[in-house]
């Protein structure tokens, strides 16, 4: 019988424990990195053209104009 008999029965439990340990370690790493950098989430600019404006060639070719 030996150790190989129960390998298949305990395989999934062992894999779940390893995944949980890996996820925990990764979460700690992320938290540490965010604390170090000051974690500031910047809002992205909304670069869409309002619906009431007509899209012209100038809107499409001149990216500097807002």
DSSP one-letter code for 44: P
The answer to whether 58 and 65 are in contact (CB under 8 A) is: yes
- Please give the model's pTM, rounded to 2 decimal places: 0.48
pLDDT, tens only, 14-34: 999 999 999 999 999 999 988
Q: What percent of the chain has pLDDT over 70?
A: 82
Higher pLDDT, 1 or 53: 53
- Per the structure block, which two tokens stand in for 4? 């190989």
Q: How do the domains of the chain map onto residue ranges?
A: 3-61
């Amino acid at each position: 019988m030996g150790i190989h008999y129960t390998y298949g029965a305990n395989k999934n439990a062992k894999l779940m424990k390893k995944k949980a340990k890996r996820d925990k370690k990764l979460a700690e790493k992320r938290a540490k990195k965010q604390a170090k950098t000051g974690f500031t989430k910047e809002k992205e600019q909304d670069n869409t053209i309002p619906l009431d404006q007509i899209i012209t060639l100038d809107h499409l070719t001149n990216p500097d104009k807002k």
